Structure 1
Amino acid sequence: MASKTSSLWRALRSYQIYGANTDVGKTVMSTILCKALVSKSPSENVWYLKPVSTGPLSEADNRHISQFSPETRTHCLYQFDEAVSPHIAARSKPPLPDSDILQNVLQHLKSCAEAGPGVTLLETAGGVHSPTPSGTSQADLYRSLRLPICLVADHKLGGISASISAFESLHFEDSHYQNHAYLREYFEKKDIKTIAIPAPPKRNNNDSEDFEMMAEYYKNMSKHDAVEELLDRLTLKHEKRIENLEDMAGRAHKQIWYPFTQHKDVSEKTILTVDSAYGDFFQTRVREGKEENLLTPTFDGSASWWTQGLGHGNPDLSLAAAYAAGRYGHVMFAGAINEPSLLLAESLLGNMHNPRLQKVFYSDNGSTGMEVAAKMALAASSQRYKYNVAKGEVGILGLKGSYHGDTIGTMDCSEPCIYNEKVHWYQGRGYWFDFPEVKLKKGNWVVESPAGMEAALGSKSEYDSLNDIFDIEARNTSSTAKLYRKYIEATLERLVLQEGKTFGALIMEPVILGAGGMHFVDPLFQHTLVSVVRESSNIFSHGTSYPQSDPNAWTGLPVVFDEVFTGLYRLGRFSAASFVQTHPDISCHAKLLTGGLVPLCTTLASDSIYDAFLSSDKRDALLHGHSYTAHAVGCHVANTSLNVMMDLDQSGEWQPYKDDWGVGHTFESTQSESKSMPGKVEIPVWSSWSKDFIHKISMSKDVDSVIALGSVLAIALHDEHAGYTSSATTGLQERMLEGCTQFNIHSRVLGNVFYLMASQTSKPETLRDIEKLLSEALL
């Protein structure tokens, strides 16, 4: 859920009152604080907000506050008459989404801030994890507000456990159990302030006398030294938080060396200060000119470099990380096993539906995972073909514009480009095919060949839909497929037989080349390239026969798919290989693997690749590893992330997007893959970006082409100097950062390509708002 307004203002101090349990005195403490605030700063406004209340109106907490602190402005958003848990009380009413409650709370805070200097106390209902009307935990509902919390501890028998579980503590003194003494010592070791105050008087049967006793109690407690100290501490923390927020960019500019950044263009003013993140949004410091409202919601348009899939601060992932950290910490992996890493390996191998893949190797990020993949593939081919490295280099086959990471080996797997041309040790070992691209141009889906290669690859072809472009079975008998095959075969023969080059692997990103510029490769070209390479053992072996009895063993060259970016539902499918209708021998998966919480990467390989490293000589082993290999925290988070995304896929959560794009179709698997892909395979081709929107912006005079698939949207702007160094997108990027009254959009660009990444949990209304902003900027 997106917070569409700020929760931090310079002149408004806002705090939440939580209870470690029900019936611990939250409202009593709220009353004390309200009276103390009114007395301490008579010129300031004091507000009390109860978002959700249950029980008779005559006993409502906001009425109690009004009785004993009449100067306080009280308000309740949702009152349910039945004195039960909110999720039960709300059953007789229309559904009340958490997002509605949150937005109304934010709007109330905004109105308080606009009314002038003051303090707002927001009192929750029941205990920390008491349910909201929708049934979710209220701790999850209010978490995105990031308000400082005063927790009223449980002073009853068993209250120590409840209070420590709730963590922060503000509690009543109790002479019998003395919980406060233990909790004070426990929390002050963690630099968390605790105070103890006398309990309120016991209730009197005489209402008038009872009121008088409570009024006297509140009067005395509002002047209690501990309460005064608490209010001073809360004010100081508010001021320190603002001071830190305003100071961070300056400190960062002096000390931080940013990745992929020319620091000549960086200043204190250009650095985005992120206070927190939740769902698809950062809460960022506002730009100059809006000083009173200190934070603004900012859409995470790059999905935090393509990692964020289930929303920032996702409670399922956070709890999974905490569980694994508490159970394991980090345990060494070589020659050992832990349950999360084993379950993750089984889940990946089972859900790839690729019978070639049988083994999982763990590393820590996409670049190192692809380094491992290159080592695997080159070792296997060199062993089979008895390559003599001393006689010359063993290179790779790939696609122009590829990018597989920044480690030395993966750099050499990419053609010369801006990423590596000034890296002193870069050599560029291989050959990279130019390829036809899929684009939406002026409302038409086309497959466009590179300039000057129309004769070899065919001229521009138009298709009615993306479904037709991905129909490999139908297109495999076309003249286009024959041209692709002829071109690839002739190129391999020239490179190997005439020029004497040696190759050890085919490495490519399936469907979309990410960092190279969001290039959408014709899936038929990639399918054909894999087929030709696998059928060309005689070329790579110079005529020597290597028959394979195992249909899942690699032939020709090992085929490596880099799915670091495109895999695990980024394009709407568990594996992007399914779009190309072929099975790689090695595939690499990271980014969405852990939903954006912790680094982790897996490289999956076939038994025929694995067997190349079996020997009685230790030097023949895959001598590669990382200190945090298969760390239990990452693996358990990954298991949770994959389970959530698979549930989203199977539950119909994405069906509205699919309906917008039309249902997927089925097609026969090709002969070359018939044993591994029997029968019909359904490939839904859809995007979370609306079909009408992308067609509309493709008509813009400033737009060269558009692509959209899964959560990816990329808009290529016209520029005669198109490429990574282009500045064509600067204006559009700045316009999006200005945003609208509801939120801003933070984005990264790739030269003349402006791209945005939705998460797998993005709300349609959020994406439609973004589409409206883009339409206004481009049309």
Structure 2
Amino acid sequence: MNLSQRDHNVIWHPYTQMKTAPLPIPIVRGEGALLFSEDGKTYVDAVSSWWVNLHGHAHPYIAQKVAEQLQTLEHVIFAGFTHPAAVTLAERLIGILPQGQRRIFYSDNGSTAVEVALKMAIQYWENKGTPKRRILAFRDSYHGDTFGAMAVSSRSTFTAPFWSYLFEVDFIDVPVPGQEEETIAQLEAYAASGTDTAAFIFEPLVLGTAGMVMYQPAALDKLLEICKRHHILTIADEVMTGFGRTGRNFACHYLQHQPDMVTLSKGLTGGTMALGVTSCTEEIYTAFLHDDKSKTFFHGHSYTANPVACAAGLASMDLLLSEETQQHLIRIAQKHQEFTARIRGFSNIKEIRQQGTILAIEFESESGTSYFSNLRDTFYNYALAQGVILRPLGNIIYMIPPYCITNEQLEQVYQTIVGMHRLISDNQA
């Protein structure tokens, strides 16, 4: 019995209709931007294995640092104890995070990092003696799959069974080009109405699961200015955009106004293992310092600040800040721009969006922009046949590759996308 069949007998996969899905592809090895299957086929990982892999699979430097840590300390309870890797990673994160971030709270993944931020924001106002209960977010946003994270995400088919369990959230439109003034006016009116809003949570510059929807820093700066004027805390969800994806270390580095909190995961460890971070300003941290122990932030996870994960995070940061990686960010962005110029005139392409190393191509679809567009499976299977892993968001193809991807591998992915265009054109002829 091969690995795929063994898997099918015992495993339930995420975001997968197990009744109709084909057997999973058994991956047995990775190197750089490539993954190798049990039957010897090679795939270019053009989506960084769900956006987590920054520097390539099985990176020897990260592996070395993880191995060293495993021989020293694998884990220690983080309530009342600490360890070098956690302290050093926190110090180094504060050194590169958007200005004003002063404290690091560790958790397990992106969803839990968001949960921590939401709880911090709500309890901050409670501790200050001015309780605020409401949260503001963008329509079409996504912040995770735990209950708090689902609540501040767009209501959709994915969350429909749980709507009655989710707390009420206020939404404003995303300030995409041409709609900036309308969104700014929505927030001005909302803030002026005197609602007891604790925080505004947002994906800076790129809404990932919405289809890599992109908007400009100037619009977000204006929204943050309004929030600060009306004493609404701001939470930047940089789980996807952090660590170079947008061309700078963090998407918030494009802004004049900076958030009160930042959530991180995915690329934090270079895709090596799970780790989450919620950072905050000193002002937020100070609101929890009190002789009354009920003011304590009562939140934690068994694997909080796991030493091995922190070691992976430190190794990944070494690589991220290297001149080689910084040049890769520039190179990939330039290659995306060149490819965009090549395909801009294709008749069945509705829109092309690019920010740093992220490229999204939206194809025309009779069902509109939808995760359930019938183009999704066609694109996905075609790409696999070409030896490329792309995970379409309905009729939207996106690339978010590891930074080590070669120009030749990029061209293989680009040619696969061109092939998708031809496939649609032939079907329409």
Q: In the superposition, relative to structure 1, how do residues 697 and 653 fare at CA in structure 2: closer, same or farther (>3 Å)?
A: closer
Q: Give the whole-Å Cα distance in 2 for the aligned partners of 1:619 and 1:410.
A: 24
Greater CA drift, 648-657 or 560-569: 648-657
- Normalised to the residue count of structure 1, the TM-score between the two structures is 0.52
Q: In the superposition, relative to structure 1, how do residues 706 and 429 fare at CA in structure 2: closer, same or farther (>3 Å)?
A: same
- Secondary structure of the structure 1 residue equivalent to 2:321: helix
- The corresponding residue for 1:748 is 391
1:260 maps to amino acid? Y
Q: Give the whole-Å Cα distance in 1 for the aligned partners of 2:185 and 2:140.
A: 22
Q: In the superposition, relative to structure 1, how do residues 690 and 518 fare at CA in structure 2: closer, same or farther (>3 Å)?
A: closer
The unaligned stretches of length 5 or more in structure 2 are 423-429
Q: Give the whole-Å Cα distance in 2 for the aligned partners of 1:486 and 1:404.
A: 24
Q: Give the whole-Å Cα distance in 2 for the aligned partners of 1:643 and 1:367.
A: 25
1:648 maps to amino acid? E
Match among 199, 219, 226 for residue 505 of structure 1: 199
- The corresponding residue for 2:62 is 317
Q: In the superposition, relative to structure 1, how do residues 424 and 350 fare at CA in structure 2: closer, same or farther (>3 Å)?
A: same
- Secondary structure of the structure 2 residue equivalent to 1:690: helix
Q: Give the whole-Å Cα distance in 2 for the aligned partners of 1:754 and 1:426.
A: 33
Contact persistence 1:362–1:630 (CA under 8 A): yes
- Secondary structure of the structure 2 residue equivalent to 1:381: helix
- The corresponding residue for 1:376 is 120
Match among 190, 193, 199 for residue 491 of structure 1: 190
- The corresponding residue for 2:106 is 362
Matched, 1:418 2:418: no
Q: Give the whole-Å Cα distance in 1 for the aligned partners of 2:203 and 2:15.
A: 21
- Secondary structure of the structure 2 residue equivalent to 1:630: coil
1:248 maps to amino acid? L
1:272 maps to amino acid? I
Q: Give the whole-Å Cα distance in 1 for the aligned partners of 2:125 and 2:294.
A: 17
Shift of 1:435: 2.3
**Counterparts in 2 of 1:704-743, with a 5 A limit?**
704-719=350-365, 720-739=367-386
- The corresponding residue for 1:580 is 255
- Secondary structure of the structure 2 residue equivalent to 1:432: strand
Shift of 1:489: 1.0
Match among 614, 617, 634 for residue 289 of structure 2: 614
Q: Give the whole-Å Cα distance in 2 for the aligned partners of 1:535 and 1:348.
A: 28
- Secondary structure of the structure 1 residue equivalent to 2:410: helix
Q: In the superposition, relative to structure 1, how do residues 424 and 435 fare at CA in structure 2: closer, same or farther (>3 Å)?
A: closer
Q: Give the whole-Å Cα distance in 1 for the aligned partners of 2:349 and 2:9.
A: 38
Shift of 1:422: 1.2
- Secondary structure of the structure 1 residue equivalent to 2:71: helix
Shift of 1:353: 4.6
Shift of 1:313: 0.7
- The corresponding residue for 2:21 is 266
Q: In the superposition, relative to structure 1, how do residues 248 and 425 fare at CA in structure 2: closer, same or farther (>3 Å)?
A: farther
Deviating above 3 A after TM superposition, structure 1's stretches of 4 or more consecutive aligned residues are 382-385, 483-487, 648-657
Shift of 1:273: 1.4
Matched, 1:299 2:38: no
1:322 maps to amino acid? A
- The corresponding residue for 1:520 is 214
Q: Give the whole-Å Cα distance in 1 for the aligned partners of 2:150 and 2:404.
A: 33
Contact persistence 2:101–2:282 (CA under 8 A): yes
Q: Give the whole-Å Cα distance in 2 for the aligned partners of 1:514 and 1:300.
A: 17
Match among 334, 338, 342 for residue 692 of structure 1: 338
Contact persistence 1:382–1:504 (CA under 8 A): no
The unaligned stretches of length 5 or more in structure 1 are 1-243, 286-293, 389-393, 438-446, 450-456, 458-479, 537-555, 658-686
Cα RMSD for the two superposed structures: 2.0
- Secondary structure of the structure 2 residue equivalent to 1:705: strand
- Secondary structure of the structure 1 residue equivalent to 2:312: helix
Contact persistence 2:320–2:326 (CA under 8 A): no
Contact persistence 1:381–1:558 (CA under 8 A): no
Match among 10, 17, 34 for residue 281 of structure 1: 34
2:118 maps to amino acid? A
- Secondary structure of the structure 2 residue equivalent to 1:350: helix
* Deviation per residue, 1:733-764 (Å, 9 max, x gap): 2221110xxxx012212222222221111112
Q: Give the whole-Å Cα distance in 2 for the aligned partners of 1:651 and 1:575.
A: 13
* Deviation per residue, 1:622-649 (Å, 9 max, x gap): 1111111111111111111111110036
- Secondary structure of the structure 1 residue equivalent to 2:154: coil
* Deviation per residue, 1:293-348 (Å, 9 max, x gap): x3111111221111111111100011111100101111222122211111100101
Contact persistence 2:242–2:249 (CA under 8 A): yes
Q: In the superposition, relative to structure 1, how do residues 606 and 649 fare at CA in structure 2: closer, same or farther (>3 Å)?
A: farther
* Deviation per residue, 1:198-242 (Å, 9 max, x gap): xxxxxxxxxxxxxxxxxxxxxxxxxxxxxxxxxxxxxxxxxxxxx
- The corresponding residue for 1:47 is none
Q: Give the whole-Å Cα distance in 1 for the aligned partners of 2:326 and 2:248.
A: 14
* Deviation per residue, 1:178-209 (Å, 9 max, x gap): xxxxxxxxxxxxxxxxxxxxxxxxxxxxxxxx
Match among 587, 598, 604 for residue 273 of structure 2: 598
- Secondary structure of the structure 1 residue equivalent to 2:388: strand
Match among 389, 403, 411 for residue 768 of structure 1: 411
Contact persistence 1:512–1:521 (CA under 8 A): yes
Contact persistence 1:397–1:503 (CA under 8 A): yes
- The corresponding residue for 1:351 is 96
- The corresponding residue for 1:34 is none
1:709 maps to amino acid? Q
Shift of 1:730: 2.4
What percentage of aligned pairs have identical amino acids? 28
- Secondary structure of the structure 1 residue equivalent to 2:106: strand
Higher relative contact order (CA closer than 8 Å, sequence separation 6+) = 2
2:380 maps to amino acid? Q
Q: Give the whole-Å Cα distance in 2 for the aligned partners of 1:648 and 1:366.
A: 28
- Normalised to the residue count of structure 2, the TM-score between the two structures is 0.92
- Secondary structure of the structure 2 residue equivalent to 1:750: coil
Q: In the superposition, relative to structure 1, how do residues 590 and 328 fare at CA in structure 2: closer, same or farther (>3 Å)?
A: same
1:714 maps to amino acid? A
2:250 maps to amino acid? S
Match among 682, 703, 713 for residue 349 of structure 2: 703
- Secondary structure of the structure 2 residue equivalent to 1:624: coil
Contact persistence 2:139–2:171 (CA under 8 A): yes
- Secondary structure of the structure 2 residue equivalent to 1:637: helix
- The corresponding residue for 2:224 is 530
Q: Give the whole-Å Cα distance in 2 for the aligned partners of 1:386 and 1:377.
A: 12
2:294 maps to amino acid? R
Matched, 1:403 2:142: yes
1:504 maps to amino acid? A
Q: Give the whole-Å Cα distance in 1 for the aligned partners of 2:120 and 2:286.
A: 10
Q: Give the whole-Å Cα distance in 1 for the aligned partners of 2:3 and 2:247.
A: 38
- The corresponding residue for 2:427 is none
2:32 maps to amino acid? G
Q: Give the whole-Å Cα distance in 2 for the aligned partners of 1:299 and 1:688.
A: 19
- The corresponding residue for 1:387 is 131
Shift of 1:257: 0.7
Contact persistence 2:47–2:389 (CA under 8 A): yes
1:419 maps to amino acid? F
2:279 maps to amino acid? L
Q: Give the whole-Å Cα distance in 1 for the aligned partners of 2:303 and 2:90.
A: 16
Contact persistence 2:370–2:394 (CA under 8 A): yes
- The corresponding residue for 1:251 is 6
Q: In the superposition, relative to structure 1, how do residues 515 and 353 fare at CA in structure 2: closer, same or farther (>3 Å)?
A: closer
Q: Give the whole-Å Cα distance in 2 for the aligned partners of 1:277 and 1:429.
A: 43
- Secondary structure of the structure 1 residue equivalent to 2:85: helix
* Deviation per residue, 1:70-125 (Å, 9 max, x gap): xxxxxxxxxxxxxxxxxxxxxxxxxxxxxxxxxxxxxxxxxxxxxxxxxxxxxxxx
**Counterparts in 2 of 1:322-337, with a 5 A limit?**
322-337=67-82
- Secondary structure of the structure 1 residue equivalent to 2:12: coil
- The corresponding residue for 1:435 is 174
Matched, 1:560 2:231: no
Contact persistence 1:414–1:428 (CA under 8 A): no
Q: In the superposition, relative to structure 1, how do residues 526 and 304 fare at CA in structure 2: closer, same or farther (>3 Å)?
A: same
Contact persistence 1:430–1:503 (CA under 8 A): no
